[in-house]
Structure 1
Amino acid sequence: MPSPASRSPPLLLLVPFLLLLLFSAASAWKKDEFRNCNQTPFCKRARGRKAHSVPSLSTADISISDGAVVARLLPSQPLRQATDGDDPESDTVPPRPLLLRISVYQGGVLRLHIDEDASAPRRRFQVPDVLLPDLDDRRLWLSRLSSPAAGSSSFYLAEGFEAVLVHDPFQIQVRRKGSGEPVLSFNSHGLFDFEQLRAKKNDDEDWEERFRGHTDTRPHGPQSISFDISFHGADFVYGIPEHASTSLALRPTSGPGVEFSEPYRLFNLDVFEYLDDSPFGLYGSIPFMLSHGARSSSGFFWLNAAEMQIDVLGPGWDDPAAPAKDRIDTVWMSEAGVVDAFFFVGHEPKDVLRQYTGITGTPAMPQEFAVAYHQCRWNYRDEEDVAAVDAGFDEHDIPYDVLWLDIEHTDGKRYFTWDRVLFPNPQEMQGKLAAKGRHMVTIVDPHIKRDDSFYIHKEASERGYYVKDASGKDFDGWCWPGSSSYLDVLNPEIREWWAEKFSFENYVGSTPSLYIWNDMNEPSVFNGPEISMPRDAIHFGDVEHRELHNAYGYYFHMATSNGLLKRGNGKDRPFVLSRAFFAGSQRYGAVWTGDNTADWDHLRASVPMILTLGLTGMTFSGADVGGFFGNPEPELLVRWYQLGAYYPFFRAHAHQDTKRREPWLFGERNTALIREAVHVRYSLLPYYYTLFREASVSGIPVMRPLWLEFPADKETYNNGEAFMVGPSLLVQGIYEERQKSVSVYLPAGQSWYNLRNGVSYAGGVSHKLEVSEDSIPTFQRAGTIIPRKDRFRRSSTQMVNDPYTLVIALNGSFAAEGELYVDDGKTYDFEQGAYIHRRFIFADLKLTSVNIHPANLGGKFPSDCVIERIVLLGLPSGAKKAVIEPGNREANVELGPLTLRGGSSPDAITVRKPNVHIADDWTLRIL
């Protein structure tokens, strides 16, 4: 595109046409617009290597320094420096050692760091501000190595585990102490390759890469890293989002008989109408993989924000004639960066998740309204349209909490502005929603319209706050506003400046009930290579975009979240939805799966996608209910609402070219079915909020694969069609049109209760169930207690003082447990102890409420809320009354429905109006 200075008025008339062309190019999946592995030199080179074909490295000068293992890695022959020619081994440089450092952290975490020494011509980029700042405080001080002269050195890692550094050839193993059984290994197949930086030999040497008319100058030459990681004792591996797949477990991408020919790609991209079953990378990247098997759980995380390609190797990849091995081998390939890798081992899979979120952060505790239902469309036209949609929800008795505005609400795609014709009174509009306890979200993207009359562009340009192109000028790319520049959010100063833009003084027309949506932050550049920013663009500290690409959206998300935090003087929790993400994004808000399509395959794929996000820290995630593209038939839309009501992030969204699809536009019966689905979510808000509290403390996701709760049950290991919500609810989606029945596997170890009618089903077997139009199969696990609120208001904020219902599903011992967490739903006062946290225990026909708020934390949260109903499933008949202590009060016991809305439930016994306070200690005995 021409520079701003060279534009003439006639050219300006072409801008809408050019944008239309660019949008068309980006608006649907076109395979040839994106690079594959063979078109990506570092991937092609690494993928072509066989086991032990790379010149080996050996360790030298091994010692303990500052409590860590340090050594030099020496090549057995001159290091290869790859070129794009046919003979990558023809170009060599004298051997130069690499520097190795191994650290151990509390909880069984091993960190491996490998980098070039000080003689390198340039410092390699290491991703900042992702790891928790207190990580070094949790480092264990290693005091000795065992048997360093015996070819390997071992040292303590965690209870039951040790780490072993093999000297020659270099290898790292994590194994079980005593038995020596391996759990994780690095470079056991000799595929570690580290392309060291060097100067060009002469001016004729061509380091440039070209793709579809774009040239990457690649001024620092090849600098890729690749290595193999083996997960021993694993039945499956999971993780490394984001990919659209109907399989929860990662399928092999290389090896005999493998269907996929491409590795899993981690490269944040704006992919419209993405394929529903592909290893191709989407909007976010988290280079964390975890494994699980009957004997082992482990994880591996590579802190690297450059493009990454990962192969999962099928059995026999190294020797098709050899018998299958009890491990899964993987190969990790990255264009740049350093080795900064973490190994996690645990006795249970939840241990691995705690370890990972222990270094990247647990998910932020959201405001309670954000856990409720969101209504979005690109775009609600004007203030009258907003008012009509808001009124429609009230008219049809459907609660909702948030209404969203996309890019059309702005003045010419200038973010932080309003179209004063369509939205002349934004504060009044937000105030009307807030009066019903509702909120608004507006979109703020990272591309800034290059318009000297736009104050944000003018200020950013004058201060030099934009990413630079390879020549050192402000990068100029095309996105929704036309000619745009992009903030260099790697720079902490610029992030602080951006955060200030969200103040009420700067964001004119915003109010305390307004929150933010970050879209297009991969970053998306319509006229860029692969619809993204050129890799040779320059960021703060002379960092190339190739080195931090996958973290760009992370830094933008961070800055926006901090902006809302500052706006409220640090008191209120922010809500920011981001499309792009990286490791650690869970600390700043929610994400969603991007531009899906209104078809059954995308409905099916949404579950493994969201489950995978949760396994990698991003528990606050969801998929666009109904599908972003296309027009869903009523049955698909209803089934999507019924499933989406259980997503951690529950939002309906649609493209501007789709037909309007507010819930009441599909006939009275479908409106009733959607209303019921939304009501289910609102009734379960106390349970969801309690689970978000657990996630914020432990890192265990809200929506969980079955194997996370049942790690010994092999039938659960690759089930991506059913999932757990917390430890208590199992949900099975319906993914086919006019489906009459479904097979549901209920994990072994206990019975399960159908939440529609209270009927009990045995665990450890699959049950063929008839499918009804009014719900999808949902079961409560025996031995659990779920808190609910069954009175429906216009929004969650209007339910704050409503009474609770406890649903108790008894196990074979007539026992059950559950928890309830309550705070003000908005501020950070809970960090000073202002919350209620109760554990409910049913045993020996007695229900007890126990305070589990730490006594030393202090703080108090007042609440007059009571429990108005207690529903017991699996209790033998004959109960006549309940006696409550203290006070020796009696309450009625009767057969009753599971919900206030009625329905057959012959196995349910209800205690009506015990009216015990949620904040108090009490006991209720069934007589």
Structure 2
Amino acid sequence: MRAFSSFILLASIVPTVLSVKTQDFKTCSQAGFCRRGRALATRASESATSWKSPYSIDPNTVFIAPNQASFTASVKSSLYPAISFGLDVRVHDDGVVRVRMDEVNGLGKRYDEAASWALIAEPKISSSIQWKVGKKDVRAIYGKGVEVVIEFEPLKVTLLKNGQEEIVLNGRGLLHMEHFRKKEEPKLAVEAEVPEEGLNADDAQKVVKLENPRAWFEGESEDAYWEESFSSWTDTKPKGPQSLFIDVTFPNHGHVYGIPQHASTLDLRTTTGEDPYYSDPYRLYNADTFEYLADSTMSLYGSIPLMHAHSTDSTVGVFNAIGSETWVDISHPTPKSTETYWISESGILDIFLMPGPTPKDVFAQYSSLTGTQALPADWAIGYHQCRWNYISSEDIRTVQKKFDEADMPVDVFWLDIEYAEDHKYFIWDKKNFPDPVDMINDVQDTSRKMVIIIDPHLKRVSSYPVYQEAVERNVLVKQKDGTSEYEGWCWSGSSAWVDFFNPASWDWWKTLFKTHSLGDGKFSWVESTENVYIWNDMNEPAIFNGPEISMPRDNIHYGGWEHRDVHNINGMLFSNLTSQAVMERSTPYKRPFVLTRSFYAGSQRFGAMWTGDNLGTWEHMAVGIKMVLANSIAGFAFSGSDVGGFFGNPEPEMLVRWYHVGAFSPFFRAHAHIDTKRREPFLLDEPYKSIVKDILRLRYSMLPIWYTAFRESSVTGLPVVRPHYVVFPKDEGGFSIDDQFFVGGSGILVKPVTEKGVTEASVYIPEDEVYYDYFSQHAYRSAAKGKNITVPAALHQLPLLIRGGSILPTRERPRRSSTLMKQDPFTLRVALDKTGFNARGELYLDDGTTYSHQEGQFVWKEFKSEKQSKNVIKISSHDLGSEKPTEAVDGVALTTYDGGNAFAKSISSVRVEKLVVLGVASKPKGVKLGGKELEWEYTPGVGAQESKKEGIASVLVIKDPKVAITTDWEISIQL
């Protein structure tokens, strides 16, 4: 939440025009280090045939670590022979290659801690791989044809698979690590005679090269080395230039994805080369870009420097562990290759090369580094209702009552900044919220939760105990002098910011969320309960009177690091500590829910994110889907966009379509600006109100599918919502599709409508398989690989298909919240594949709130349909947990699993109340469970195996077989 309004106290310092002000944010040409980086690339391009990187390895310094797949070496630059760099290359147990380079014994120390914040642990180096040192390179071959080669002169790192180049570092010779230097460092000048008649152009260029022989690489002038200005701000640079440039080439991959967050397509567009789509590189600089453009490379709220490169042959990944502002140029020299160029303001070279070769492998390799998506509480994947602001305790009670009167499900009510007295977070405005604990308990009594905002800015007044304690502990961010407290302006007026890089802030911050008194005058949130969860906003950090609406880059954090070094990591630490605080306030621990706006690699371990202050437009609805997919493949699976748009008053048609989008987003929240009209779904006129009610109920009926997908994500790193290239990595026709997607491994394919006046939609079917309409059971087919089909998409209809071969567990009884569904029975939709026999699905359940699943307290079932004999289909359920090797959940190994565990016993009465089997070839002669005939009903239609027919599929409904969801069973269908 961040928007500007003329009646707010801070109006004198906050703009009132509700539109993105592009002039508030830098372009590459306005950032000195980005100008330098692009200029270097231009010089290289203009001298392509003669260009050579100045960086090389001294072969005499190569050192192979004993019994480890790692080596170190000294790197020199011919530009500055006196400057030394250290190279460290290692291969991890899973085949990931880590390449690190840092300045050695320089005048200063480069920031080298970015990876330590992102990684879950120091990766284990392989002990089975041996480096081979040659005259020109060092290399190692491992796995199934994977080879890494480090060439000495010029320095180049190449990852190959079966002899084919997959990833190349410095292949274009653009690597440059600007070393620390003195401000008046002398240039190497060479005397040159100048004739009296002057110089012609060629002679003049020769003289320039003589006077500054490094100009061919670094340029002829010191561009913004020691200071630069933007708008009214001046950024002092006492450490001088320390930027890092590196080219990363994918010679055999024509598609790249990732580097969120941007409002753009999933398949990243060109920014350089012939006729680029964008003129500026993709920017990674966490910023409060409210009302952002719907098609732009502008930086937004979070930054994950991870990129996937994909082709029909393989998928590879690159994680560039750097915390400073970074720009990424992309070009395609051929349709089957990609060149990228990463330009960072500071930091060391610390790049992880992930060899794949499949998307699933890359997800596993990346999650082994930064962790998987935290398994959320089950209620957190329900529907969340928010606006800026519900104005009082009674407002919350009224909204809750209206949801119940409309018979609409909802799990969470939210409070924005106006709950807090003078925006002093944790402190209630007692005029409007006189009874906060009673209000929270009233919500709890209806089996719902509350989320309340805590922003990072602390009001600088002595009457605010949180600020006072931060001052006493000396844990606030400092000005550039390193000693004076930094003062900026945000919602609280004059504000200070906790420096979460300072370990002294960690335990203190967690005590603030305790719901009991700590004594000794220490502050804790006693006017709260364990039913309250947290929203972290404005944590880029957003500062109204700061450069680019953020913190000055020369501010100082713990350890003496400048803000420029850690900017993109800053917001993650805030949500990290808040997540720990919410978890640790309970005994035993409960799973926290924390929503963050700003994020970095690894933020997925701490909660959920949303795409920020979007607009209520069709364009923002559409790009929100693409942004969620981009965040998902970058590891942050628990993501979503504000339903209805934060700004504006969407018409009813748009709002309905947006609820469809939200219902198929991992994080499902409606939110609105303070100046918008109230648009809770119960306020809609008919037929819109009933349509949205059906959408909400659809989401709730499918919660078991979503929870199972989240569990898989928490174990494997696979995203909860998956673009086509992830599910069908060899189908080139789907590589650029980002307006439809699959939900987990369930077989659900959804294409939300994001245009006005639509009555039908085109859906891409990627394979020769039958797909069923979720609602009408219409069977669609694609005889040829890659076919677009037309499906009905009137306002009350959602293009939602079930892939043949899938089994979907749902709960169909309407409830007002997810907590009340825990003992409800299940319906199994069995969508037979084109053989007419086969299908498969999974269901994962646990208590949904604690960490007891890590002790084996869960139910994990596999449902299968298969051919038992020529005319018999067998549908069965059996335990997965007892048959598969125990896997890690949330990074913790499951040491034991017993299908009769306490949780399983607690839901032993939960049954399967119905099976709906789609595509049965003919009317059954009988349907039996253990020899007992079951009650069933058959509606004839198209069979799954009838490859040339489309139309309504046959439907077999098996009524109440009276089998428990926790037990193993078999049902036979005799044809």
TM-score (norm 1): 0.92
User: Do structure 1's residue 858 and structure 2's residue 897 form an aligned pair?
Assistant: yes
Residue 37 (structure 2) aligns with: 46
Pick closer, same or farther for the CA change 1:403–1:726 going to 2, 3 Å: same
- RMSD over aligned CA atoms reads 2.0
- CA contact 1:74–1:95 (8 Å) conserved in 2: no
The aligned counterpart of 2:235 is 216
* Equivalent residue, structure 2, for 1:626: 644
Aligned counterparts, 1:664-683, within 5 A = 664-683=682-701
Q: Which amino acid in 1 is paired with 2:862?
A: R
Residue 147 of structure 1 deviates from its aligned partner by 4.7
Equivalent positions of 1:25-174 (< 5 A) are 27-49=18-40, 50-51=44-45, 53=51, 55-60=53-58, 61-66=61-66, 67-79=68-80, 94-127=81-114, 129-136=116-123, 138-141=124-127, 144-149=130-135, 151-174=136-159
Change (3 A) 1:738 1:270: same
Report the AA paired with residue 474 of structure 1: E
Matched, 1:895 2:942: no
Q: Secondary structure at the match of 1:95?
A: strand
1:176 matched to 2:161? The reply is yes
> Partner of 1:390: helix, strand, or coil?
helix
| C-alpha distance in 2 between matches for 1:716 and 1:198 | 50
**1:897–1:253 CA distance, 2 compared to 1 (3 A):** farther
1:822 aligns with 2:845: yes
- What is the aligned counterpart of 1:484 among 491, 495, 505? 495
Note if contact 1:789-1:803 (Cα within 8 Å) is conserved in structure 2.
yes
Matched with 1:651 is 669
Q: Which amino acid aligns with 1:908?
A: V
Q: Tell me, yes or no, if structure 1 residue 917 matches structure 2 residue 964.
A: yes
Q: Equivalents in 2 of 1:493, 1:386: separation in Å?
A: 37
Q: Does 1:271 align with 2:289?
A: yes
Q: CA deviation at 1:669?
A: 0.8
Q: Distance in 2 between matches of 1:286 and 1:906?
A: 44
Q: What is the Cα deviation at residue 493 of structure 1?
A: 2.3
CA contact (8 A) 1:57 1:73 kept: no
Partner of 2:913: 868
Structure 1 pair 539/282, CA: closer, same or farther in 2 (3 Å)? same
**Cα shift at 1:880:** 4.5
Q: Secondary structure at the match of 1:233?
A: coil
Secondary structure, counterpart of 1:102 in structure 2? strand
Structure 1 SS opposite 2:535: strand
The residue type paired with residue 797 of structure 1 is T
Establish whether residue 464 from structure 1 lines up as the match of residue 462 from structure 2. Answer: no
Q: How far 1:201 moved relative to its partner?
A: 2.0
Given that 1:623 and 1:644 are in contact with CA atoms closer than 8 Å, whether structure 2 keeps it comes out as yes
Q: What residue is the counterpart of 2:376 in the other structure?
A: 366
AA matched with 1:912: K
Which deviates more, 632-641 or 61-70?
61-70
Once residues 511 and 553 of structure 1 are traced to their aligned partners in structure 2, the CA distance between those partners, rounded to angstroms, is 25
Shift of 1:906: 5.5
Q: Secondary structure at the match of 1:427?
A: helix
- What pairs with 1:421-436 in structure 2 (closer than 5 Å)? 421-436=431-446
Identify the match of residue 174 of structure 2 among 191, 194, 197: 191
1:467-486 deviation digits (Å, cap 9, x = unpaired): 00112211000000100000
Counterparts of 1:300 and 1:720 in 2: how far apart (Å)? 21
| Alpha-carbon separation, structure 2, partners of 1:628 and 1:458 | 34
Is 2:363 aligned against 1:353? yes
SS of equivalent to 1:96:
strand
User: How many Å apart are 1:54 and its aligned residue?
Assistant: 6.3
Measured at CA, do residues 737 and 325 of structure 1 come closer, stay the same or move farther in structure 2, by a change above 3 Å? closer
- For 2:727 and 2:860, the matched residues in 1 are separated by 22
1:363-762 to 2 correspondences below 5 Å = 363-471=373-481, 472-505=483-516, 506-727=524-745, 728-762=747-781
* One-letter identity of the residue aligned with 1:566: E
SS across alignment from 1:140: coil
Q: Structure 1: how far apart are the matches of 2:394 and 2:118?
A: 46
| Secondary structure, aligned partner of 1:840 | strand
| Counterpart AA for 1:406 | D
Displacement after TM superposition at 1:17 (Å): 7.2
Read off the aligned partner of 2:954 and give its amino acid letter.
D
- Residue 54 to residue 822, structure 1, CA distance change in 2 (3 Å): same
* CA 593–582 in structure 1, closer or farther in 2 if over 3 Å, else same: same
Once residues 208 and 872 of structure 1 are traced to their aligned partners in structure 2, the CA distance between those partners, rounded to angstroms, is 69
The answer to whether the aligner puts 1:836 opposite 2:859 as a matched pair is yes
Partner of 1:318: none
Q: Counterparts of 1:25 and 1:499 in 2: how far apart (Å)?
A: 36
Deviations 1:370-402 (A, max 9, x none): 011000000001011111110111111110000
Is the Cα contact below 8 Å between 1:500 and 1:566 reproduced in 2?
A: no
The residue that corresponds to 1:786 in the other structure is 808
SS of equivalent to 1:351: helix
Query: Deviations along 1:444-463, whole A, 9 cap, x unmatched?
Result: 01000001111011111122
Secondary structure (helix, strand or coil) at the match of 1:893 reads strand
Instruction: Work out whether residues 792 and 799 of structure 2, in 8 Å CA contact, stay in contact via their aligned partners in 1.
Output: no
Kept after mapping to 1: 8 A contact 2:610/2:642: yes
Query: Is this contact kept in 2: 1:59–1:71, CA < 8 A?
Result: no
Q: Is contact 1:235–1:292 with CA below 8 Å preserved after alignment?
A: yes
Report the residue type matching 1:867 in the other structure.
V
Higher mean displacement: 596-605 or 347-356: 347-356
User: How far apart in 1 are the matches of 2:939 and 2:817?
Assistant: 27
**Mean alpha-carbon deviation: is it higher for 873-882 or for 366-375?**
873-882
**Cα displacement (A) at 1:614:** 0.3
* Worse-superposed segment, 151-160 or 513-522: 151-160
Per-residue deviation at 1:907?
Answer: 2.3
Shift of 1:512: 1.4
Alpha-carbon displacement from aligned partner over 1:347-386 (angstroms, at most 9, x marks no partner)? 2111111111110000100000001100000000101111
CA–CA separation in structure 2 for the residues paired with 1:307 and 1:437: 43
Question: For residues 7-39 of structure 1, what are the alpha-carbon distances to aligned partners after superposition, in whole Å with 9 as ceiling and x for unaligned?
Answer: xxxxxxxx9877113332685311111111011
**Residues 25-34 or 630-639, more deviating:** 25-34
Q: Secondary structure at the match of 2:509?
A: helix
The answer on whether the counterparts of 1:642 and 1:775 sit within 8 Å (CA) in structure 2 is no
State the distance in 2 between where 1:172 and 1:154 align.
10
Deviates more, 1:488-497 or 1:183-192: 488-497
Contact kept? 2:421, 2:427, Cα under 8 Å: yes
Q: Find the counterpart in structure 2 of residue 314 from structure 1.
A: 332
**Partner Cα separation in structure 2 for residue 703 and residue 206 of structure 1:** 44
TM-score normalised over the length of structure 2: 0.88
Q: How many residues are matched?
A: 879
Structure 1, residues 95-133: CA drift from partner, whole Å, max 9, x if none?
Answer: 312100011112220000100113443353422543444
1:328 aligns with 2:343: no
Partner of 1:812: 834
Structure 1 residues 142 and 325: alpha-carbon distance in aligned structure 2, compared to 1, 3 A threshold: farther
Partner residue in 1 for 2:208: none
Letter in 1 for 2:361: D
How far, CA to CA, are the matches of 1:213 and 1:161 in structure 2? 52
Cα distance change on mapping 1:897 and 1:224 into 2, 3 Å: farther
Q: Which residue of 1 aligns with 2:270?
A: 252
Distance 2:850 2:102 in 1: 43
1:48 partner SS: helix
Check 1:73–1:54 CA distance in 2 against 1; reply closer, same or farther (3 A cut): farther
- For the residue of structure 2 that corresponds to 1:857, the secondary structure is coil
TM-superposition CA deviations, 1:295-318 (whole Å, max 9, x none) = 121000011110000000232xxx
In 2 relative to 1, CA 188–258 (structure 1 residues): closer, same or farther, beyond 3 Å?
same
